[in-house]
Amino acid sequence: MPHSKRIFGTDGVRGRANIEPVTAETALRLGRAAAHVFKNLHGQARNRVRYRIVIGKDTRLSGYMLENAISSGILSMGVDVVFIGPLPTPGVAYVTRSLRADAGIVITASHNPYDDNGIKFFRPDGFKLDDVVEKQIEDLVFGGEIENIRPTANEIGKAYRIEDAIGRYVEHAKASFPRGMTLEGLRIVADCGHGAAYKTTPAVLQELGAELIVFGAQPNGTNINHECGSMHPENLCQKVREYRADIGIAHDGDADRVLLCDENGQLIDGDDIMAIASIQMLAEGTLRNRTLVTTVMSNAGLRVAVEAAGGQVLVTPVGDRHVIDAMLEHDLNFGGEQSGHLIFRDHSTTGDGLVAALQILSAMKTRGQALSKPGTLLDPLSAVGPQREGADENALRGTRRGSGSRQTRRGGRHPPRGSRPPALFRHRTEGPPPDRRPRHLSDGTVVGRNLRLDPTAGRGDVVRGRKVEEMKC
């Protein structure tokens, strides 16, 4: 009988390592359940000999524990395991497809601190699991349906490691960059966040000819995302100014997202990246159906920029899975989030920070322009919005988590977002430039000129050199 307990969140299983549900015991049960589900989904092994599942991870200390636990569960169900070691999440998705495996697993907690960890699953085609398959796995984890399935002798699975996974992904990422084009003449600062991209991103950029300054590429199991990478982009911006680089690139722990920094040390977030790439793709005629997919959290200035270039924007609830689902449903090839999750579907099946960075570098080389060139970035609508902690999803009545924005009478909007965990409700107000709106909002908040909010910015934070002020009547 199905169990009501849930361990899957919005992006796999995640939590404090060695605390439920991210324990060795649960990982073993997850491995058994996933192996059973994938065997029955496909009926016959894709490699025509035995079933096999690819397992990759980021650089967290707890990855060793979880890797061994989940692989033991898989092997006990008669399914082979292919270890590929530390590799970005999009790399695991790609290798799963490349090896014609029956599923892929990546052990990571993405941008979280090192003492967290998690487990994500990929289908054979490299896309994330849908809710139905996740529910099947959960029911088996907590039920007893497969307790008596115990292959013996030579029916037990076999584990082996492949040594060329990094090389496979490096060549795949390079293939997303135009042939005949190089990065010669560009000085790039790369901050790998001591995470899964510590080998792959430097290798690709160097092989393409860039002059490279690398930081965050000495993982020790406990320094992933610690004062580095896309969670601390101020460090990247400082290094770009210090080394007089042309661009800075920062990843999170599993490198499924990217933030950039221009030659002046100004942060370029996911909205800016989507504007640059969309406008370039519209000019080249490669943006399918002339449509960009993004979420309710993107600045409304992104829509203005894309529409001015002759495109349109399809808006989804928060979460990269909603973006991917919309892209698949409408046969679109580009979408993303303000946080830096960017999906170029012609090249990847999930967010890929390295591939996204390469598309922007390609646009820079094609245009022969610096990243800060006027007209290259979107003109964001002014925004203020401190996070309100401790509020549950019903704090604002009538607003659903991930629902659409409420439009104002003067061309602005209020994009809300509930978040769990922790219990958090984020609210931001956007509107036209000051010369086209009243100086004060209805609640007495004074809106500064051309503010550009970092997703983590709160009251009193300095964002793009200006202070976010909140005043109430």
pLDDT tens track for 348-359? 999 999 999 999
Confidence at 384, pLDDT banded by 50, 70, 90: very low
Among 21-35, 43-57, 442-456, the least confident range: 442-456
- Cα 404 to chain centroid, rounded: 21
b/e code 65-91 from CB counts within 10 Å (16+ = b) = bbbebbbbbbbbbbbbbbbbbbbbbbb
pLDDT tens digits along 445-469: 433 333 333 444 433 333 333 333 3
**Which of 154, 137, 342, 186 lies closest to 256, judged by CA?**
342
**What pLDDT does residue 5 have?**
72
Give the integer Cα–Cα distance in Å for 23 and 198: 26
Q: Residue range 162-186: average pLDDT?
A: 97
Query: Which residue is it, tokens 């309100």?
Result: 388
Q: CATH topology of 13-163 equal to that of 169-367? A: yes
Q: Residue range 283-289: average pLDDT?
A: 96
Query: Which residue is it, tokens 């580009």?
Result: 334
Average pLDDT score over the chain: 84
Q: Both tokens of residue 458?
A: 């709160």
Query: Which residue is it, tokens 């999750």?
Result: 341
Give the integer Cα–Cα distance in Å for 247 and 264: 9
Residue 378 has pLDDT above 80, yes or no: no
**Which of 33, 110, 41 lies closest to 69, judged by CA?**
33
CA-angle at 124, arms to 7 and 33, nearest 5°: 35
β partners of residue 426: 387, 417
**Which of 421, 402, 352 lies closest to 112, judged by CA?**
421
Confidence at 345, pLDDT banded by 50, 70, 90: very high
Residue 466: CB partners within 8 Å, gap ≥ 6?
A: 448, 450, 451
Confidence at 6, pLDDT banded by 50, 70, 90: confident
Instruction: Indicate the burial class of 31 (C-beta count within 10 angstroms; 0-12, 13-18, 19 or more).
Output: buried
Q: What percent of the chain has pLDDT over 70?
A: 77
Residue type, 453: L
CA-angle at 335, arms to 305 and 97, nearest 5°: 155
CA-angle at 92, arms to 88 and 97, nearest 5°: 145
b/e code 298-335 from CB counts within 10 Å (16+ = b) = bbbbbbbbbeebebebbbbbbbbbbbbbbbeeeebbbb
**Which of 389, 381, 392 lies closest to 414, judged by CA?**
381
**Which of 274, 388, 405, 290 lies closest to 341, judged by CA?**
274
Residue spans per domain, the chain: 13-163, 169-367
43 or 132: whose pLDDT is higher? 132
Concatenated DSSP letters of 28-79 = HHHHHHHHHHHHHHHSS-TTSS--EEEEEE-S-TTHHHHHHHHHHHHHHTT-
Confidence at 144, pLDDT banded by 50, 70, 90: confident
pLDDT tens digits along 68-117: 999 999 999 999 999 999 999 999 999 999 999 999 999 999 999 999 99
Count of alpha carbons within 13 angstroms of residue 445, beta-carbon side: 19
CA-angle at 122, arms to 119 and 125, nearest 5°: 170
Which CATH superfamily is 169-367 part of?
A: Alpha-D-Glucose-1,6-Bisphosphate, subunit A, domain 3 (3.40.120.10)
Whether 361 and 371 have beta carbons less than 8 Å apart is answered as no
Confidence at 388, pLDDT banded by 50, 70, 90: very low
User: Which stretch of DSSP H or E encloses residue 212?
Assistant: strand 211-215
Give the integer Cα–Cα distance in Å for 357 and 351: 11
Q: Both tokens of residue 454?
A: 């970092």
Q: Which class is domain 13-163? A: alpha beta
Which of the residues are catalytic? Answer: 110
**Which of 245, 212, 7, 194 lies closest to 86, judged by CA?**
194
Cis peptide before 21 (omega within 30 of 0): yes
Query: Which residue is it, tokens 């649960």?
Result: 26
3-class secondary-structure state, position 117: strand
Phi, psi (rounded to 5 degrees) for 366: -65, -45
Confidence at 289, pLDDT banded by 50, 70, 90: very high
**What pLDDT does residue 180 have?**
93
3-class secondary-structure state, position 271: helix
Whether 452 and 464 have beta carbons less than 8 Å apart is answered as yes
Confidence at 203, pLDDT banded by 50, 70, 90: very high
